[in-house]
Amino acid sequence: MKVVSNIPVRGWRDRVFAAATFFFVCVFIIFVLTLIITDVFYIDKEAVITVLTSKFIRHALWMSTWTTFVTTFIALLFAVPMGYALSRFRFPGRIVADAIVDLPIVFPPLVAGLTLLVFFSQTALGKWIQEDLGIEFVFQPKGIVLCQFVAAASFAIRSAKTAFDDVSQRYENVALTLGCTQWGSFRRVSLPLARNGIIAGGILTWARAFGLFGPLMIFVGSFRGRTEVLSTTIFLEQSVGNLEVALAIALLLIFVALIAVTGIRLVSGSAQVKL
Amino acid sequence: MIRTEEIFFRIGTFQLQRLSIEIATDQYFVLLGPPGSGKTIFLECLCGLKKVNSGRIYIDGREVTALEPRARDIGYVPQDYALFPHLSVEQNIAFGLRVHGHQHKETKAKVTETADLLGIQHLLSRGIDGLSGGERQRVAVARALVLQPKVLLLDEPVSALDEVTRQDVCVQLLRIQRHLNLATIHVSHNLEEAFSVADRAAILHQGILQQIGSLDELLRRPNSEFVARFMRCENIFCAEVVGQGAQGSNTKVKVGDIQLQVSGQHSGKLTFMIRPEDVLVCPGSQYDEKGGNAFVAKLVRSRDCGGYVKVELDGPLNLVAHITAGRFAELQGEHHPDVIAVLGPENIHVLPR
């Protein structure tokens, strides 16, 4: 057992303060758990069997899983260099670029779906990509990834920028004098030091993509066995009156999300308690 | 050897103005100056971390002005040491060697050798967290030295350390510099630090090199009031030449109500200084009216500074003097209200106009 030796001596006011903060933690967690438990008690055995045996739901789970991981991977591919550039380099229009990165966080997710649909169906460039290049996104699985990327990548970019902001430039400067190129100092020093922030951004991106619903309905629809993901399956099931099945899928979605987020945290080591 | 020729660098409203400096291979050079004077920027220009607007930098005769930091053969220790927190002590020291593609065996040998030199071999397996300030400083120096640079740049390397550790580390830095015969630039705002290591020193103020020379020159022959005050001389006065001194080589000047002899030939108005430790303070009973630069003063304040007692004298000239504890006890035992301040003409330095 680790001996915690860095806790200061606390008076009663400190204990009251700690208890007050803990109170809010408890209220929130109890609230969320109550909602989940309500769902658990609402669903019946048949709904669970339906969820576990339906090939369409299995397909939706698979679609949700692979599309969100691909989206997160592509988002991080953009986020790391973009976060570094926005953090380290001063260039004309940097403030505007920084604001544009945040736009998808601010506007309603539905707008992402609408905008993508208009772009690919109404503009010459969009039509050229779809028709001449043959890369089809509208009502296609590829469109799920694109839609998730537009709606969620900003979280990864913002987190990466903040993570690089927190890495002192002095580390890179020393690395340069020790023989590194700028790329070398980035790879050997800045990237490892920004790792936890980048992973946190990845988790946020994944979570946003995993729960995305509105823009997917508009841009790719929800075709059974084709472009259906878990979030749209819930909508489909409840719209035809299968509320128990919809809630059972929601619980499956929560379960997968919990495993994924906890797993990533454990693998990255960011869940370690630093004494 | 490192040499700069008229380095000019501008950032915002601050400018490093035409800095020319030459530091020999075996020299320990201390760059002094108040905070904000441009010392760190100067080091960063030498490293190549800041691109100079004009001027040239040479290391061992090779011009490096346009070279990247990695190609300059410079070892750099920044003010906060900037040890990589994600690496162990050993990995920190080995960092440069790994970047240069040294073999594992060779890297290990060089790291061990450098750690031995700095007495930190017992720290090699440890992480950065939990190292003391002195240990961090030595690891940072080891990391800079392991690549065998031609010049070592230390940016306030001991400013974060306590007094005792600071002295120990300064002694060690000087020992290492002598052992490696390495041109070293040590930036500091602390005079004690400079006295413990410097072969030569310079004073920088607002981006302008005020004076360069031995510490004794900076101390006793400052070229400006700023340098004199930076070297902690508080006895600075304005005077007017009134004639030839008693000896032909002296000049007689009037300052306030008294006349003093100063060495050398001067004319018109001038500013002079005398170091506090050069003011001779005698008991009032020993006053001899025929004395030259001697006058009666009252001892108004005293402070024991450990190695000496700082006394403030109120008289025709308000002086600060540093005297020994023995002399101070003698003055206290006299029960005489006045003391005599004696200023040797040879100790009075006239500041250049």
Mean pLDDT rounded to a whole number for chain A: 89
**pLDDT of amino acid A6:** 66
Which residues are within 8 A (CB) of A78 and not within 5 positions of it... i.e. 6 or more apart? A153, A156, A157
**pLDDT of amino acid B243:** 83
Q: Which of A177, A192, A193 sits opposite B47 (nearest CB)?
A: A177
Contact A174 B82 (CB under 8 A): yes
**pLDDT of amino acid B267:** 87
**pLDDT of amino acid A274:** 33
**pLDDT of amino acid B162:** 84
Confidence of residue A116 (pLDDT cuts 50, 70, 90): very high
Starting at the edge strand found earlier in the chain, the sheet holding B319-323 runs B279-283, B338-343, B294-304, B309-314, B319-323
**pLDDT of amino acid B40:** 94
Q: What percent of chain A is modeled with pLDDT above 70?
A: 95
Confidence of residue A271 (pLDDT cuts 50, 70, 90): very low
The ranges of chain B annotated as CATH 2.40.50.100 are 236-351
**pLDDT of amino acid A21:** 95
Question: pLDDT tens digit string along A93-103?
Answer: 889 999 999 88
Q: Coil, strand or helix: which one is B6?
A: strand
Q: At residue A13, does pLDDT exceed 70?
A: yes
Question: pLDDT tens digit string along B245-285?
Answer: 766 678 889 988 888 988 888 888 999 999 999 999 988 77
- CA nearest A185 in B: which residue? B99
**pLDDT of amino acid A275:** 27
Question: pLDDT tens digit string along A203-242?
Answer: 889 989 998 988 999 999 888 888 889 989 998 888 888 8
Topology at the third CATH level for domain B236-351: OB fold (Dihydrolipoamide Acetyltransferase, E2P) (2.40.50)
- Report the candidate in B59, B77, B86 with the shortest Cα–Cα distance to residue B142: B77
Which secondary structure element, helix H or strand E, spans residue B304, and what is its range?
strand B294-304
- Report the candidate in B75, B84, B93 with the shortest Cα–Cα distance to residue A188: B84
Single-letter amino acid code for the residue at B85: P
Percentages of chain A per state (helix, strand, coil), in multiples of 5:
80, 0, 20
Low-confidence residues of chain B: pLDDT under 50? none
- Report the candidate in A130, A194, A138, A136 with the shortest Cα–Cα distance to residue A161: A194
Give me A45's structure tokens: 């055995």
Cα A185 from Cα B84, distance rounded (Å): 11
Which residues are within 8 A (CB) of B326 and not within 5 positions of it... i.e. 6 or more apart? none
The CATH H-level superfamily of B2-230 is P-loop containing nucleotide triphosphate hydrolases (3.40.50.300)
Whether the complex's predicted ipTM surpasses the cut of 0.95:
no
Question: pLDDT tens digit string along A146-198?
Answer: 999 999 999 999 999 999 999 999 999 999 999 999 999 999 999 999 998 99
Contact B99 A180 (CB under 8 A): yes
- CA nearest A173 in B: which residue? B49
> How far away is chain B from the Cα of A164, in angstroms, using its nearest Cα?
15
Confidence of residue A1 (pLDDT cuts 50, 70, 90): very low
- Report the candidate in B124, B143, B155, B138 with the shortest Cα–Cα distance to residue B49: B155
Contact A176 B82 (CB under 8 A): no
Give me B301's structure tokens: 């304040």
Which residues of B lie closer than 8 Å to A, measured between beta carbons? 44, 47-49, 68-70, 72, 74-76, 78, 80, 82, 84-86, 95-96, 99-100, 143-144, 147
Lowest mean pLDDT among A7-11, A244-248, B193-197: A7-11
**pLDDT of amino acid A8:** 79
- Report the candidate in B233, B236, B230, B183 with the shortest Cα–Cα distance to residue B203: B230
Cα B341 from Cα B344, distance rounded (Å): 10
pTM for this model (two decimals): 0.83
Cα A167 from Cα A196, distance rounded (Å): 12
Cα B262 from Cα B348, distance rounded (Å): 6
